[in-house]
Every structure is written in C-alpha cells, then in structure tokens.
Amino acid sequence: MQRQDTDTNAVMSHVIDALSPHFGDRLVTSWAMREQHGHDESWHAGAAPDAVVFPHSTDEVSLIVSECARHKVAVIPFGAGTSLEGHVAAVRGGVTIDMSQMADVVRVSAEDLDCTVQAGITRKTLNAHLRDTGLFMPVDPGADATVGGMVSTRASGTNAVRYGTVRENVLGLTVVLADGSVVRTGGRARKSASGYDLTHLLTGAEGTLGVITEITLRLHGIPEETGAATCSFASVDDAVATVIQTIQSGIPVARIELLDDVMVRACNAYSQLGLPEQPMLFLEFHGSAAGVREQAQRVADLAQANGGGDFEWATRAEDRTRLWEARHSAYYAALALSPGRKGFTTDVCVPVSQLAGVISQTRADVEEAHLIAPLVGHVGDGNFHLILLVDPDDGAEVDTAQALHARLVMRALAAGGTCTGEHGIGIGKKHFLALEHGDAVDMMRAIKKALDPDGIMNPGKMLPDV
C-alpha cells in the first residue's frame, strides 16, 4: 500500500532531519537541484527526488542508505545524468545520491595494469590522471560519464570491438547494499574460480541492487601508434559488408563506426566537417607503426572490394580528436536536424553475421514510417542505434516511433540479439526484458527480492512489475 502524501512528507522530513547534521549544505532540497537530478539525456519523462545528497565516502553512502532503509524511502544513485533510458528518474520520490564529489583515484598499479577509483570520477578525468603512466581506460561511451554510472549500466562504446565493454574491464567493486551494509566483490587477480561472480551481477544492475562506491578496473597500454580514417560507400549495405568481413578476418581494428548518409549530413552541419554525405565508416587502428599500416591496408582492400572509396586519413592528433568528437556528438547533431523535436534513441545488438539483414530491414521500416531517423553504430560488435526525431506533442508521430522501435527490437531478438547493447533497460525497455530472457526474469526478481526486500534501490527500473 502506498503512503498518503502527508505520510510521505512526514517520513521524508524524518530522513532529512536525520541526515542534515551529517551533510549540512551537501543535502539539498531546492526545486532546481531536485529537478536537475530527476532526468537524464533521454526523451523519457523525468521525476524529481525529494532530496539530493552529495557524499564524500563509502561510509557516508552507507549512512544515507541506512537511514532510507529505516523509513523505506527510495534511493537513486546519480552519476553525470548522461544515461538514455530514464535510469535516474525518481519515480517514487526519495533521495538521490549524487556521486560527483566522490571522484578520487584511490590507487594505480602500472605494473599490474589496474587501478581503483571512486565511483564519481569521470572517464576523461581518469584518463587524464593516467596519461603519464602510459596507460588508459578504454571504455568510451561518448559522454563524459562517471565510472560508477558506466559500471551500473554495463557501458560500452566505440572501443569495445577491441578492448571490450565495462564487463570485461571491471575487476572488483565496493557496493553499499539496500540495508546500508558494505560489501567488496572481486579483487585484483586476473582470474578467480572463487564463489559466485558478484562483481558481474552488480555490473549492469542499474542501481537496483546497491550503490557502487569504488571500482577496480583493468587498464591497457596507450598504443604506440594510432591511425584514424574515414571511408565512404555508395550504400549502407556495402559499408556493413566491409565491417562483417573485417571482423570475420580477425583484423584487430580498434574502432569501426557506421554512419548513414543522414547522420553524416547532421555531423557535417553540427561539427563543421566536410565529409561526403554518403554512408561512411569511421575507423581507428592501434598498435606498432607496422601493425597499424598492415591493419589499415587489409581493411582498405576489403572496402575497395565492396565499392568503398579511398581512406581519408586524420593524421594529426587534433584531426583525430575532431573526428571522434564529431562522432560522439552525433546525438546532438541529429537533434539539430529538426529543432524542437526530441531524440527517441534506440539501441540493439545482434550477431555480426546478422547485422546486414537487420539494418537493411530497419532502414526500409524507417522509410515507410516517414520519420527522420539517422542511423549510427558501433557495428564492429553488432551494435547500432537509430535516433528517431519526434514531436512529443504529436501523438501519432510518437506512436509511429514506438511501433518502429518495437519492431526493431523484435527483429534483433529474432536474429539472436538483444534489446540493448549498451543503453540498459531503465524505464524504457522493461517490457522487452521478458521477451528476451523468458523465465530467467523470475530469477532476476528473486535476486532483487533477496538483496532489496523493500524495493528501495532505484525502484521502477529494469524489472517489470517490481
């Protein structure tokens, strides 16, 4: 039974009164701060929490969660707010824990290629700290997300085809559970056969099982040589054929991104590029100078056989940065194609062998729907996105986008894929979870109930009817 508003207000007053002496001005209840923390970058409706708290340590997070548990008040972890499926909306009110002031590098071991960081550090800040060690953390979702948020959503990005996702790069976690207790999972060993794999259970749990406060990460050496290039094609099918052949040939390409002609046009206008407005691959190669040349030549040969143009190289570091910043700004570039519309972003992932068919059918679906929907993706691992531009006040247009999205997900599932390769479930994809996982969703519910019996951890996210 839900509490009445007066009861809710009274309970929140107790929680705020209990926490205020410990946090002072780091506990904020102003509407502006609450509203800011009630939504992410997605098109989903936001919902403001009742209070926002900025902890400095795992012990302080434990204190917040313990107090919320005592009164059965919702707890919503917040990183940078860059998620895309409504993950941070406080759909049942409660307390948002903003991790941004827990942003320290706890330790770095260059010899072991690992580090431990607090959850609020952003990926760019971490890599700036690591630069002098010759190491980097390769997971790159585009946005300057916090590491804790990336772990919570099992983030991926442009480098995943070579270096893996967060899942492959997280070694251990410190997590505050729903009763305020603190657990440490995993460790620094590169492999272990000891006990349940709790680290990877909590990786991608989207804050529904606990609040991640520290992460131990695998690091990688900064490559000796980096080469980046673009290659245009007459059709998306030709570009996708090149991607499939590249992966099946075992070429260790570091990044291989697909943009259709609409997306290239958007990036040209938004980022002031001068690229041919045709379907295009953005590529990057890492290794020794000889290795980069060999990889590039092999991919260039495949591209030429599929009707691709010559590689246009970004030889200077600043040119590469500009190219990849344009790719990372693709969402905002797409929005600029139709000011006033919102971006209904999709995200599916399929086996690479199925990629061409799924993309071809999806593009036909977009044309039939008469929507503006640029296509972009980390196609080296079978992951791609549509950015459906819709007028939120036009019910028919929203319904058309929703129906197209549902067909895309069903197409991906039928191809042996997933409803989300990197955005996560959040609010937006809960109804697809059972279609993908079947009876295993009951197991997920059992885990949720065991670890969070009162359902206070980021409620309303991920699991249907929980």
Does residue 420 lie within any of the structural domains? no
Whole-number pLDDT of residue 5: 67
Cβ atoms of 423 and 344 closer than 8 Å: no
| Whether 303 and 392 share a structural domain | yes
Rounded CA-CA distance 449/209 in Å is 9
Q: Which residue, 310, 292, 221, is CA-closest to 254?
A: 292
Q: 152: domain CATH number?
A: 3.30.465.10
Whole-number pLDDT of residue 4: 47
| Whether 116 and 257 share a structural domain | no
Does residue 422 lie within any of the structural domains? no
Instruction: Using the 3D structure, point to which of 100, 125, 160 is the last residue of a domain.
Output: 100
Under DSSP, the state recorded for 233 is -
Cβ atoms of 426 and 86 closer than 8 Å: yes
Does residue 207 lie within any of the structural domains? yes
| Whether 254 and 382 share a structural domain | yes
Whole-number pLDDT of residue 1: 35
Rounded CA-CA distance 461/88 in Å is 9
Does residue 419 lie within any of the structural domains? no
Rounded CA-CA distance 219/116 in Å is 10
Cβ atoms of 218 and 171 closer than 8 Å: yes
* Coil, strand or helix at 60: helix
In angstroms, the Cα distances linking 444 to 9, 177, 243 are 32, 16, 35
End-to-end CA distance of the chain: 14
| Whether 199 and 290 share a structural domain | no
Does residue 373 lie within any of the structural domains? yes
Rounded CA-CA distance 166/5 in Å is 40
Rounded CA-CA distance 87/78 in Å is 9
Under DSSP, the state recorded for 459 is T
Q: Which residue, 120, 152, 127, 157, is CA-closest to 140?
A: 157
State the DSSP string of 114-183: EEEEETT-BHHHHHHHHGGGTEE-----SS--BHHHHHHTT---TTHHHH--HHHHEEEEEEE-TTS-EE
| Whether 257 and 366 share a structural domain | yes
| Whether 142 and 291 share a structural domain | no
Instruction: Using the 3D structure, point to which of 100, 133, 150 is the last residue of a domain.
Output: 100
Residues 6+ positions from 61 with CB-CB distance below 8 Å: 55, 97, 102, 176, 211, 213
* Coil, strand or helix at 262: helix
Sheet bearing 170-176, strands edge to edge? 105-109, 114-118, 211-218, 170-176, 182-186
Q: 58: domain CATH number?
A: 3.30.43.10
Whole-number pLDDT of residue 314: 87
Whole-number pLDDT of residue 466: 60
| Whether 239 and 381 share a structural domain | yes
Ranges of the chain with pLDDT below 70: 1-6, 466
* Coil, strand or helix at 93: strand
Q: 278: domain CATH number?
A: 3.40.462.40
In angstroms, the Cα distances linking 133 to 115, 121, 125, 171, 190 are 11, 18, 14, 20, 20
Q: How many domains would you assign to the chain?
A: 4
Three-point CA angle 157, 161, 165, nearest 5°: 50
| Whether 213 and 260 share a structural domain | no
Domain encompassing residue 71? 5-100
Instruction: Using the 3D structure, point to which of 166, 192, 221 is the last residue of a domain.
Output: 221
Rounded CA-CA distance 152/176 in Å is 13
Does residue 424 lie within any of the structural domains? no
| Whether 257 and 393 share a structural domain | yes
Phi-psi region at 204: left, alpha or beta (left = phi > 0; alpha = psi -120 to 50)? left
In angstroms, the Cα distances linking 381 to 256, 355, 453 are 9, 9, 37
Whole-number pLDDT of residue 9: 87
Does residue 421 lie within any of the structural domains? no
Under DSSP, the state recorded for 109 is E
| Whether 150 and 55 share a structural domain | no
| Whether 360 and 434 share a structural domain | no
Rounded CA-CA distance 307/287 in Å is 27
Does residue 352 lie within any of the structural domains? yes
| Whether 121 and 139 share a structural domain | yes
pTM equals 0.94
